A and B are shown apart, each in its own frame.
Chain A
Amino acid sequence: MENLSEKLSENTEYIGGLFENAMDFILREFKIDGTSAALLAMDGLVSKQHVTIGILNPIMRTAVLQTDGRAQMEYIKENVLGAVEQTELHTVPEVLDRLMNGFAILMLDGCDYALAFGTQGFEKRGVDEPDGEVMQRGSREGFVETYQTNISLVRRRMKTPELKFEKVTLGEESHTPAALCYLKNTVDPDILAEVKKRLDACNLKDLLAAGYLTSYLERPSIFESVGLTERPDTLCGKLHEGRIGILIDGTPTAVYVPYLFIENFQTVDDYANRPFYATFIRWLKYIAFFLAIFLPGLYVGIAAHNPELLPETLLLKVAAAESQTPFPVTLEAILLYFMYELMREAGLRVPKPLSGSVSIVGGLVIGETAVSAGLVSAPSLVVIALTVITGYVIPKLYEQMAVLRLAFIVVGGIWGVWGILVGLTFLIFNICGKTSFKVPFLAPVAPFRLQDMRDVLIRAGWKTLAQKNHPVQSMPGAGKGEKRF
Chain B
Amino acid sequence: MKQPTKISALQFYLMLFLSRIVVSITLNAQTVGDRNFLDNILSSLLLFAALFLFVLPLFALNRKYPDASLPAIAERRLGSLGYGISAIYGLYFVILNTFSLSLFLTLVMNTLDPVASQWSIAVVLAVIALYGAVKGIETISRASICIFTLFLLGMAAIFIALSPNVRLRYLEPMLYDGWEQTLRGFFVFAARCTSLAEFAVLMPSVEGKKKLGFAVWNGGVTAFLALLLFFIVSCLGEYAYLQIFPAYTLSAIAEIAGIQRLDALFIGLCMMTLIIRIACGLFAVSECISRVMRPRARTVVLTVVSALSVFLALWITADAKRAGVLFRTAYLLPLTALTGAVLPVLVWLIDHFKKERGSR
Say yes or no: B146 contacts A445, CB within 8 Å.
yes
Select A309's contact among B112, B259, B272, B295, beta carbons within 8 Å. Answer: B259
Total residue contacts A-B, CB cutoff 8 A: 137
Cα(A305)–Cα(B117), bound, Å: 14
Cα(A306)–Cα(B251), bound, Å: 14
Select B261's contact among A309, A422, A481, beta carbons within 8 Å. Answer: A309
Stretch at the interface among A40-48, A265-273, A386-394, A428-436: A428-436
Say yes or no: A422 contacts B128, CB within 8 Å.
yes
Interface string of B126-147 (1 = CB under 8 A from A): 0010011011111111111111
Q: Does B36 contact A (CB under 8 A)?
A: no
Q: Does A295 contact B (CB under 8 A)?
A: no
Interface string of B255-279 (1 = CB under 8 A from A): 0011111111101110110010001
Q: Does B309 contact A (CB under 8 A)?
A: no
Q: Does A344 contact B (CB under 8 A)?
A: no
Say yes or no: A428 contacts B143, CB within 8 Å.
yes
Select B135's contact among A310, A422, A429, beta carbons within 8 Å. Answer: A429
Q: Does A426 contact B (CB under 8 A)?
A: yes
Closest partner residue, chain A, to B258 (CB atom) = A311
Select A311's contact among B10, B259, B299, beta carbons within 8 Å. Answer: B259
Cα(A484)–Cα(B5), bound, Å: 10
Give the bracket for the number of chain A residues in contact with chain B.
35 or more
Cα(A417)–Cα(B6), bound, Å: 35
Closest partner residue, chain A, to B11 (CB atom) = A447
Select A432's contact among B5, B139, B257, beta carbons within 8 Å. Answer: B139
Minimal beta-carbon separation of A21 from chain B (angstroms): 52
Say yes or no: B260 contacts A311, CB within 8 Å.
yes
Q: Does B286 contact A (CB under 8 A)?
A: yes
Say yes or no: A476 contacts B6, CB within 8 Å.
no
Select B134's contact among A422, A426, A440, A484, beta carbons within 8 Å. Answer: A484
Minimal beta-carbon separation of B283 from chain A (angstroms): 9
Minimal beta-carbon separation of B220 from chain A (angstroms): 16
Known: A440-B138, A480-B5. 14 other contacts (CB 8 A): A309-B260, A312-B258, A415-B124, A422-B128, A422-B271, A424-B272, A425-B275, A426-B131, A429-B128, A432-B143, A433-B132, A477-B8, A477-B138, A485-B286
A-B contact pairs, 24 of them (CB 8 A): A308-B261, A309-B259, A309-B260, A309-B264, A310-B259, A415-B121, A417-B265, A418-B112, A418-B268, A422-B275, A426-B131, A429-B143, A432-B140, A432-B143, A433-B135, A433-B138, A446-B142, A447-B142, A481-B5, A483-B136, A484-B135, A484-B136, A485-B134, A485-B299
Chain A residues with a Cβ under 8 A of chain B: 305-306, 308-314, 415-422, 424-426, 428-429, 432-433, 440, 442, 445-448, 476-477, 480-485
